[in-house]
Structure 1
């Protein structure tokens, strides 16, 4: 199995939670997680563009959005069936539509989580 690189937004409370879960599920260490907000992080594209959508590199190919999620899922045994299903164009198209919908509500979710984090003792 090839190594997968995933870039994430370390300043985003949603991303931090999701990546923490993915790290726990990635027991084989198949994924290299890179915080794109780290000034020393190597970014294959403009950092702003990288942070606007989820990105991963699989087998040398840079993937974005649902395709990047699917690549990450394929690297994690428990999620692998979902990632393999996303190789079907119709499944990937549906996942991309869901992802675009999520991107529309993401700012509100981020604000809510940031407020919640600020209130915690």
Structure 2
């Protein structure tokens, strides 16, 4: 992760043991710290949380993110759709995450209409479209590439060195001897 890390405590390294004690947060929000639009939302929610610790913000893009400490939600799954973990370990996703976070922060009215029989399914569908196109709309590679790049980076860190496969090498320019 680059210097663009958000200015709040990162809980990417929480362990199952640290979660077994009653957490002070009411929801653990898993977010993509490399997504500029997602970060706008996270910063907005942080301001609304105002240091109360009601929401634990977990950056899944952090190389130290561990699924076991966060409801078992692996990187690829978390990148595909937004997820959150409740204090009892229940994992929720999609619009239900936004609805719950906003309720916890005292702004439940923003997503209240998503509970209505006609509007709820439309909002769920719209979120699905957004989630499917989020990476492309923010100028990022597709999900498979993001996942492969992360895996490669983590393997390089573990091995302490990296090597490029022949397919990764840029074609060399023709020689003009």
Common topology (TM > 0.5): yes
Larger Rg: 2
Query: Structure 2: any 5+ residue segments left out of the alignment?
Result: 1-23, 141-177
Q: CA RMSD in A?
A: 2.4
Does residue 6 in structure 1 map to residue 35 in structure 2? no
Partner of 1:23 in structure 2? Answer: 46
Partner of 2:123 in structure 1? Answer: 95
* 1:59 shift after superposition: 4.5
**For 2:63, which of 39, 50, 56 is the aligned residue?**
39
Partner of 1:69 in structure 2? Answer: 98
Question: What count of residue pairs does the alignment treat as equivalent?
Answer: 111
Q: 1:31 to 1:2 in 2, by over 3 A?
A: closer
Q: 1:65 to 1:46 in 2, by over 3 A?
A: same
Normalised to the residue count of structure 2, the TM-score between the two structures is: 0.54
* 1:85 shift after superposition: 4.6
Contact 1:3 1:59 in 2 (8 A): yes
Compare the two structures and name the one with the higher strand fraction: 1
Q: 1:42 to 1:89 in 2, by over 3 A?
A: farther
Normalised to the residue count of structure 1, the TM-score between the two structures is: 0.76
Q: 1:34 to 1:2 in 2, by over 3 A?
A: closer
Does residue 50 in structure 1 map to residue 73 in structure 2? no
Name the SS of the counterpart of 1:15 in structure 2: helix
Compare the two structures and name the one with the higher helix fraction: 1
**For 1:107, which of 135, 146, 156 is the aligned residue?**
135
List structure 1 segments (4+ residues) > 4 angstroms apart after TM superposition. 87-91
Distance 2:105 2:54 in 1: 8
Query: Structure 1: any 5+ residue segments left out of the alignment?
Result: 113-121
Distance 2:84 2:120 in 1: 15
